[in-house]
Homo-oligomer: A and B are copies of this chain.
Amino acid sequence: MERTSYLDYAATTPVDPRVVEAMLPYFTERFGNANSLYALGREAARALEDARERVARSIDAARPDEIIFTSGGTESDNTALIGLATAGGRSSGHIIVSAFEHHAVLEPAWWLGKHGFEVTELTPHPDGTVHPDDLAAALRDDTVLVSVMHGNNEIGTIQPIAELAAVTHAGGALFHTDAAQTLGKIEFDVAALGVDAASFSGHKIYGPKGTGVLYLKGGTRLSTYLMGGGQESKKRSGTQNVAGNIGFATALELMDAERPAEAPRLTALRDRLVSELLGEIEYAQLNAAEAPERLPHIANFVIPGVEGEAMLLHLDAAGIAVSTGSACSSGSLKPSHVLLSIGCPVEFAHGSLRVSLGRFTTDEDIDHLIGSLAPVVERLRSMNPLYEKTVAELAGTHE
């Protein structure tokens, strides 16, 4: 295969070599258990606490112990949803999540819905955002927790978290945000946003898979999710992944250091991608095109008359890695719950394309995708028995 272009940074990122470098000594030499009292353990504890402080500094946490190291975005989300809802032994109440959350938030919310809690799913607007007014209307006296993601992983729209958190607090509930896609990509400041809890994932920021962080504002009660030896100030048990957590902190610092140059670079690449793709592919549309704010690195398209997986596999054969916006990139027929939630028709949701850019994306990658996509779409449309009908309908709706 000639050129390969990785354009799925929202799915995962390579670990930056500088991050690997920072982790390496903690595998073999500085391998102590951070809970052990002797020198090797103290060295590990110091490195762990240093990593915690670096993460706290990056997100402007008030205190290092507001940073809880976890095994990833999923564990952070599960812990936040279930741990906050059931804190202090609470076994009922109302929680609100947006309908286009990641399943790592939706599933625990649904679990709570089956175990004594009531769950409201807030529908985002077609511009891909959750409106504070809608949240205000959904809040109830017994609402205990609201969770709305910061940047959506499929369509890249950014939610007005500060307003949503303020509305939530006015209603007397706690506010959690899943910021797995935003950390490092745009400014993330817990103090400015006013959130009580936030979830992050290492492998989205050029850190290792299997690492994550839950930010939990000091004084917020949480029922522990992983129970045992009482590590992480009794908030998350399990021998700490010292190397991984150092990797997380290092990766985050690199994101912060490079963001001033990287965010505009990615934004420009993305904007060129959007305009060229829409120009090149007949009937293609940008999803949530009216979004007031979007992440620099994600663009999601509907390509009518084409099925997502087939498109993805042909692009793969051309050396291009992208994802279809479908909720289940690998297996399910179900169209993306995110696209459906913003009003995308089901038959179009099956033909979505998510392109996500990152540290190693160049203009050539964009050219590669644009150049390869047109013939793939052409070919798949020519094999689509309904394509003429689809075009007729599109022509109808477009006039």
Chain A residues with CB under 8 Å of chain B are 4, 6, 8, 11-15, 17, 19-20, 24, 27-29, 31-33, 35-41, 71-75, 77-78, 102-105, 107-108, 111, 201, 203, 208-211, 226-230, 237-244, 309, 312-313, 315-316, 320-323, 329-330
Bound complex: CA A104 to CA B231 (Å): 11
Q: Is the CB of B31 within 8 A of A226?
A: no
Interfacial chain B residues near A32, Cβ < 8 Å: 12, 321
Q: Across the interface, do B238 and A75 meet the contact criterion of CB distance under 8 Å?
A: yes
- A239 contacts B209, C-beta separation under 8 Å: yes
- Report A235 CB to chain B, min CB distance, Å: 13
Whose C-beta in chain B lies nearest to the C-beta of A237?
B74
Which residues of the other chain, B, contact A11 by a CB distance below 8 angstroms? 33, 35-36, 41
A238 to B227, CA, bound (A): 18
Tell me whether A238 and B17 are in contact in the complex, defined as CB-CB below 8 angstroms, given that A37-B329, A108-B227, A312-B38 are known contacts.
Answer: no
List the 3 shortest-distance A-B pairs measured between CB atoms, nearest first: A210-B241, A104-B228, A71-B71
Bound Cα distance A227, B112 (Å): 12
Chain B residues with CB under 8 Å of A208's CB are: 27, 241, 243-244
The verdict on A321 contacting B15 (CB below 8 Å), with A20-B28, A239-B203 known, is no
Residues in B whose Cβ lies below 8 Å from that of A28: 14-15, 17, 20
21 contacts between A and B (CB under 8 A): A4-B39, A8-B33, A11-B36, A11-B41, A14-B27, A15-B31, A17-B28, A19-B27, A20-B24, A33-B203, A37-B313, A37-B330, A38-B322, A40-B321, A71-B238, A74-B227, A75-B226, A78-B226, A107-B228, A209-B242, A209-B243
